[in-house]
Structure 1
Amino acid sequence: MAQDVSSLNGEDCFEGNSPCCSDSEAASEGNNDYDDILELNQFDGLPYSSRFYKLLNERKELPVWRAKGEFMDSLAKGQFVIVSGFAKTGRSSQIPQWCAEFCLSVKFQHGMVVCTQIHPQQAVDLTLRVADEMDVNIGHEVGYNIPLETCCSNETILRYCTDDMLLREMMSDPLLERYGVVVVDQAHQRTVATDVLLGLLKDIALQRPELHVVLLSAVKPGPKQLALFTGSPLPVIHLEAPGVGEVVYSSTGDNYFCSALRLVLEIHHSEEPGDVAVFLVTTREVDLARDILCHEGHSSTSDRGELLPIAVHPGQPGTLPVLGEEEEEAHRTRRVFLTCGPNEDFFWAVSSINFVIDAGLEKRYIYNPRIRTNSVIIQPISTGQSECRKHLAGPAGKCFCLYPKERQLPAEIRPHIVESDISSTVLFLKRMEIAGLGHCDFTDRPDPGGLMQALEELDYLAALDNDGNLSEMGIIMSEFPLEPQMAKTVLASCEFDCVSEVVIIAAMLTAPSCFMVPPVELKPEVTQCYMKFQHPEGDHFTLINIYKAFKQYQQDPYCNEEKWCQDFFLSHKALLMADALRAELTDTLRRIELPVSAPAFGSRINTINVKKALLAGFFMQVAWDVDGSGNYFILTHKHVAQIHPLSSYGAKSPKLGLPEWVLFHEHTFSEDNCLRTVTLITPQE
């Protein structure tokens, strides 16, 4: 396919005769008999379908379309371009297509196009939409690459991927020589992976002057982002979105949750048709709101149709409607999208949102390197986030801000790199030094205390040599898509002949939690279900029991594995992800020629070996019951915590007594001060 594409007249495409320019516009406006149109798609050489022209007319209505000429001119003249525009301006779907046209115009001599996203599901959704608009096949001309799933080939012209997947790709292709244009979307979210990617791209661009870098942001870039790429004129294109509709402010204090639900019901019974987006603060609030609105929707009637609450969680597929949904069905139902955190871009495809309810707060995890744990804080959203949410309702809609108008909001989103555990990031950057990318110019430098703690932890794990460079052990650890402690545990399992069991543990703890958060009234029943999987040695072994039970049930052709998961209050999607991750980790071990021992789960020697492997990576996460009452003293930072109630040793699980010494996987400090995923250890072992 690459030869066919390269032989096309790319210059004509760029000069204005592309399918998205004058010829197709004339065809779509002047003739509806599409069967007589012989215009060929320059990306695959096939005639355009009638749907292409229908979607083309929709695309021309997007605010981004008015900036196409300016963008293409800036891309051709400079190495860096910044485009800012809110979620529904079309930036995430149109700009990458135009970059593909640009690469086609030079016959892909410098490479293809890659566009990064923060969340995997958004990368998939955009791929589906863009392939439809370009009238090409998924996985061929347009594809995606997300954790545990790849739908593309070496000849894919436009690839969507998560920013962390592109970073991992740089381990084998440090200069990204496969690509001629790198589009970094959602740069305003300031995630660790995005900031690291931008810092490395600056160094790559110096070594590859032919590489073009495009930054997409919902809000206008701040001075620090503008200063990141210097040495050449930096064009900044701002997409003018339709104006904001009516904005209503109110002071609800801590009662924003009840106020939001009351507003949803009032809108449903008294306002014109249209969907509602509700921005809450925590995932627990989102799930609780969905349950309450489901109950209210069934118990009340309205001439506005059915009330359909939908929980939208990052990283979980199937939470947003499929594009192209029938309008008739949409008119019969008022959908209420419930979400938390900075998810404004999740609604890029939902044009039917007429009402927005914004709590104006967000939950953030702040890593404290001194005590090696996260603290949870609730803080106001930024000014940019507030504006993004107001624009979701459109010029004819309403936005209800559940905070006073005079509240002072932070000017920008606080970068995650200054408040996160960056051990994995430092391990990756050390790997990049070996590849020749030793300089990462951060927009905001990491916290010095966090950086020192990360280097100290890597040194403890033997990932660094005496000179502070990556050791042979560190190089192997960086091959795994795991946090450094878990990567070291997997490597130790090769020494202790317990690879099969430890890989299951690593997969179960890296994937989202398999335990579903149930309604309060079902807690005793849920506890009884979980107790059936409990292992006397602790939670790590309980996870193995759950995984093995799931696999056994999955292999029975007469059983419904989804129903089995529901009956035991387990997440089917999380277990499938853990299964895929286990397979990937096993493949990685075989690729680097490390031994994979046969399963021996259940034997005493295997149990001891698994604990030895866990201690090899998590020796700094050991606690001692100081008084025999469940108050555990964490040795590394002398803090006292309790075991989580749903643990095998928790208060809700009286089956097992309290161990004197435990190894734990996670400690949440300010949320509930609990140790999660704990296993019994003894000095003798």
Structure 2
Amino acid sequence: MAEEDRKAMVPELRKKSRREYLAKREREKLEDLEAELADEEFLFGDVELSRHERRELKYKRRVRDLAREYRAAGEQEKLEATNRYHMPEETRGQPARAVDLVEEESGAPGEEQRRWEEARLGAASLKFGARDAASQEPKYQLVLEEEETIEFVRATQLQGDEEPSAPSLPTQAQQKESIQAVRRSLPVFPFREELLAAIANHQVLIIEGETGSGKTTQIPQYLFEEGYTKKGMKIACTQPRRVAAMSVAARVAREMGVKLGNEVGYSIRFEDCTSERTVLRYMTDGMLLREFLSEPDLASYSVVMVDEAHERTLHTDILFGLIKDVARFRPELKVLVASATLDTARFSTFFDDAPVFRIPGRRFPVDIFYTKAPEADYLEACVVSVLQIHVTQPPGDILVFLTGQEEIEAACEMLQDRCRRLGSKIRELLVLPIYANLPSDMQARIFQSTPPGARKVVVATNIAETSLTIEGIIYVLDPGFCKQKSYNPRTGMESLTVTPCSKASANQRAGRAGRVAAGKCFRLYTAWAYQHELEETTVPEIQRTSLGNVVLLLKSLGIHDLMHFDFLDPPPYETLLLALEQLYALGALNHLGELTTSGRKMAELPVDPMLSKMILASEKYSCSEEILTVAAMLSVNNSIFYRPKDKVVHADNARVNFFLPGGDHLVLLNVYTQWAESGYSSQWCYENFVQFRSMRRARDVREQLEGLLERVEVGLSSCQGDYIRVRKAITAGYFYHTARLTRSGYRTVKQQQTVFIHPNSSLFEEQPRWLLYHELVLTTKEFMRQVLEIESSWLLEVAPHYYKAKELEDPHAKKMPKKIGKTREELG
């Protein structure tokens, strides 16, 4: 065939191919649409649809009917073509006419095309009903592409105390049972009399009970009913976390039928919800420690219960030593140490072989699943796994463990976004976060009953391991990580890093799934990683944190021989020495290691020693009003500003508007001052991308500190805008944290460690010669957070005992040798 003939045929062949393709595409689209409508009618036939969904369904039916009519007309044309001549205009294979009809109806050009594309995308990820029967894909393809799903392998089972056949989820009727019936249903109730007898017969009792057994809420009530609060005595129950102290106190008040703050109250740092009538007092372990200052023998308490002792927080470990001493002095004081793990033998040995009372837990079997391969992004894996469980597993709420507020908020946002996109194609999924900075009303939502037909997913920090019991949890997702504080005494640097959790923590998390029914725990790591990479237990906090606050407290209680203090696990020798050195430098201790007058005042303030020194120094510089504000803002500094993903530029600009020459402390002062001038407005916070919740907490902290000023003999005064005085007062407290600019970047003055200004700082671009920082944290680099520009001469002014003039000289400054060169006068 000639080249010219071939070229002439190409356009015709293209047209023919195009017509065949369009005819085939038309058939496929109609089949897809009919299958999709059949599925939706089958799945959602008895579900009340929203207005938008009804309109969309009506639109799809209209398109289907038009396509059927068009197809029927085409078939009729074929029949007629055998009897008469028909002009072969190939319009049937082209969907232009149908598009035109739809465009006229919707009023949006190209709308039909967009809807078809969305429908095709939906069909790719939403396979159910007719399409599911055809493809035989797993059910979770309803939500996820095959490559997105996570493959788990069942490995082990945690045996329970109940038979697997026994599980039953709480019904609506059960949820409405009286509070007293719920109390009687708790595992601790059958042992009430035995427990009270054991407490009466022993001064110290170790209580071992699974989380959810009722020991935290019920034992203090049993003691109250038994008369331990007569003659004005009180019962103290300590919690390692303030969220737990608040939620447990609220629950007990509800069970006792009293108003929170009357007979039952809680006390946490900067918030006291108690009164003279309070006899059951839930508090953080740190608050009970501070009570030793005013009442070293705890004379107003008949019972002290140290709850969640297995968490081994810094304050809990210190409490052990102090309470052990007080118990020897006060034989009538009852001491209860409650733990949720099998580590009670150590507590028993520490308290002179105290007896252990075991409360059996209400546990069902829990199946443990591991991933086949490690997950690169555990946050994304969590979100995918939640949806996978939601679509494929029977009813039951989900508990997800993440490391902190930032991760929790990101995961909640991702889940809500994906659920929004899926609409009514999946059952309702309630996404509820829980972390320390969350307001009380939002924290309470996790304890509310899940509505019928819905599923609840609680995204929590490790507070949900033991401190909180959430009813209805059947599934647990454990990425295997937690945030852990570590401290390097050589550099004075604290780092809050994401690290693998211990096996003990992993088992606690898994146990959360077996409270109300046989559960499942999905671990987002391999079985090999569990066996070979996780530590057996978590290192006690006392061995990995700064001890300045604790040493100051112990010194103020008259405990001078810290090396021989009765620690359950002694802290590193080096960390203890550094704490003593810092307190000496701050003037809290004299050269004999005894508490000074200034040190006693510092111990009265419930803040870090450097912060309390700054507040005391504010009187000298007549700026206590401003320093109180700075101190309050520093207590919440990491959560002042927020950056919505869709308004990053606006948020950054709003933050820059608060910048003042001098540094980040003045920025915080400026934010609070402007907020106060707005009448503490929430609208002002919204407009300036400032977190109202954090500001309100800062105001509460400031009021508390202001109330303590009289006790430490500091008068209220203002610098009237002279920020040099404010900066000097801050330097008086934080002279220990200084850095200077060298040719190779910033280095700390004493340790000569290379450090960096945090990118969020107002001084990030300026690079001043001398800096003071609030804290040094290790993330991707050694970052200085909340930095302030200072002058080297101020260090000699506020801490001449700590710095020498030679240390503060610039080593790179060029100096002329003595007696070399002549003055202008000598030259004539």
* TM tier, smaller: 0.7 to 0.9
SS of the aligned residue for 1:403 comes to: coil
Write out aligned runs for 1:488-507 (5 A).
Answer: 488-507=613-632
- Tell me the alpha carbon deviations over residues 18-74 of structure 1, each in whole angstroms, 9 at most, x when there is no partner: xxxxxxxxxxxxxxxxxxxxxxxxxxxxxxxxx998111111211222332321121
**How far apart are residue 341 of structure 1 and its match?**
3.4
Asked whether the 8 Å contact 2:432–2:446 carries over to 1, the reply is: no
SS of the aligned residue for 2:400 comes to: strand
CA distance in 1, matches of 2:256, 2:455: 31
Moved over 6 A (4+): 434-439
Asked whether the 8 Å contact 2:344–2:356 carries over to 1, the reply is: no
**How far apart are residue 242 of structure 1 and its match?**
1.2
2:761 matched residue in structure 1: 647
- Tell me the alpha carbon deviations over residues 189-213 of structure 1, each in whole angstroms, 9 at most, x when there is no partner: 1111111111100000000000011
SS of the aligned residue for 2:443 comes to: coil
- Tell me the alpha carbon deviations over residues 559-610 of structure 1, each in whole angstroms, 9 at most, x when there is no partner: xx2333233222212111111111111211123332221x2342xxx32211
**Aligned with residue 169 of structure 1, among 282, 286, 291:** 291
CA gap of 1:222–1:214, structure 2 versus 1, over 3 A, is closer
CA gap of 1:252–1:562, structure 2 versus 1, over 3 A, is farther
**How far apart are residue 534 of structure 1 and its match?**
0.7
1:596 matched residue in structure 2: 716
SS of the aligned residue for 2:755 comes to: strand
**How far apart are residue 684 of structure 1 and its match?**
4.8
CA distance in 2, matches of 1:684, 1:380: 45
**How far apart are residue 176 of structure 1 and its match?**
0.6
> Which moved further from structure 2: 489-498 or 294-303?
294-303
**Aligned with residue 353 of structure 1, among 453, 458, 473:** 473
Matched AA of 1:141: E
- Tell me the alpha carbon deviations over residues 439-476 of structure 1, each in whole angstroms, 9 at most, x when there is no partner: 84211111111000000000101111222111111001
- Tell me the alpha carbon deviations over residues 486-541 of structure 1, each in whole angstroms, 9 at most, x when there is no partner: 11111111111111111111111123534344355543322101011111111111
- What TM-score do you get using the length of structure 1 for normalisation? 0.85
Asked whether the 8 Å contact 1:174–1:437 carries over to 2, the reply is: no
1:475 matched residue in structure 2: 600
- What TM-score do you get using the length of structure 2 for normalisation? 0.71
Cα root mean square deviation, aligned: 2.4
Determine if the alignment matches structure 1 residue 83 to structure 2 residue 190: no
CA distance in 2, matches of 1:594, 1:194: 32
SS of the aligned residue for 2:504 comes to: helix
Asked whether the 8 Å contact 1:276–1:337 carries over to 2, the reply is: yes
1:31 matched residue in structure 2: none
CA distance in 2, matches of 1:75, 1:436: 33
Task: State how many pairs are aligned.
Answer: 613
CA distance in 2, matches of 1:672, 1:331: 49
Determine if the alignment matches structure 1 residue 613 to structure 2 residue 729: yes
Write out aligned runs for 1:407-422 (5 A).
Answer: 407-408=530-531, 409-422=534-547
CA gap of 1:188–1:63, structure 2 versus 1, over 3 A, is same
**Aligned with residue 681 of structure 1, among 775, 782, 790:** 790
Asked whether the 8 Å contact 1:121–1:317 carries over to 2, the reply is: no
**How far apart are residue 416 of structure 1 and its match?**
0.1
SS of the aligned residue for 1:638 comes to: coil
Asked whether the 8 Å contact 2:776–2:785 carries over to 1, the reply is: yes
CA gap of 1:127–1:437, structure 2 versus 1, over 3 A, is farther
CA gap of 1:435–1:317, structure 2 versus 1, over 3 A, is farther
1:178 matched residue in structure 2: 300
Determine if the alignment matches structure 1 residue 239 to structure 2 residue 360: yes
**How far apart are residue 346 of structure 1 and its match?**
4.8
CA distance in 1, matches of 2:762, 2:292: 41
CA gap of 1:435–1:70, structure 2 versus 1, over 3 A, is farther
CA distance in 2, matches of 1:646, 1:391: 40
Matched AA of 1:666: E
> Which moved further from structure 2: 270-279 or 172-181?
270-279
CA distance in 1, matches of 2:455, 2:346: 42
**Aligned with residue 340 of structure 1, among 436, 461, 468:** 461
2:280 matched residue in structure 1: 158
CA gap of 1:379–1:477, structure 2 versus 1, over 3 A, is same
1:42 matched residue in structure 2: none
CA distance in 1, matches of 2:752, 2:195: 56
Determine if the alignment matches structure 1 residue 662 to structure 2 residue 781: no
1:271 matched residue in structure 2: 393
Structure (1 or 2) with the larger CA radius of gyration:
2
- Tell me the alpha carbon deviations over residues 303-349 of structure 1, each in whole angstroms, 9 at most, x when there is no partner: 65322322221243334334873x4x62244222222335323541x
1:191 matched residue in structure 2: 313
CA distance in 2, matches of 1:412, 1:64: 27
CA gap of 1:317–1:87, structure 2 versus 1, over 3 A, is farther
CA gap of 1:312–1:322, structure 2 versus 1, over 3 A, is closer
Asked whether the 8 Å contact 2:368–2:520 carries over to 1, the reply is: yes
Determine if the alignment matches structure 1 residue 67 to structure 2 residue 191: yes
CA distance in 2, matches of 1:210, 1:245: 43
CA distance in 1, matches of 2:793, 2:330: 57
SS of the aligned residue for 1:248 comes to: strand
> Which moved further from structure 2: 574-583 or 538-547?
574-583
Asked whether the 8 Å contact 1:590–1:596 carries over to 2, the reply is: no
Write out aligned runs for 1:20-419 (5 A).
Answer: 54-102=178-226, 104=227, 108-109=230-231, 111-230=233-352, 233-250=354-371, 251-302=373-424, 305-318=427-440, 319-322=442-445, 325=448, 327=449, 330-348=451-469, 350-394=470-514, 395-406=517-528, 407-408=530-531, 409-419=534-544
- Tell me the alpha carbon deviations over residues 409-448 of structure 1, each in whole angstroms, 9 at most, x when there is no partner: 3332211000000100000000111799998421111111
Matched AA of 1:353: I
SS of the aligned residue for 2:254 comes to: helix
> Which moved further from structure 2: 399-408 or 636-645?
399-408
CA distance in 2, matches of 1:432, 1:607: 37
> Which moved further from structure 2: 352-361 or 516-525?
516-525
SS of the aligned residue for 2:298 comes to: coil
CA distance in 2, matches of 1:204, 1:435: 17
SS of the aligned residue for 1:88 comes to: coil
Structure with the largest fraction of helix? 2
- Tell me the alpha carbon deviations over residues 270-297 of structure 1, each in whole angstroms, 9 at most, x when there is no partner: 2223221111234332221111111111
CA distance in 1, matches of 2:626, 2:183: 51
SS of the aligned residue for 1:513 comes to: helix
CA distance in 2, matches of 1:198, 1:89: 23
CA gap of 1:290–1:470, structure 2 versus 1, over 3 A, is same
CA gap of 1:600–1:375, structure 2 versus 1, over 3 A, is closer
> Which moved further from structure 2: 106-115 or 674-683?
106-115
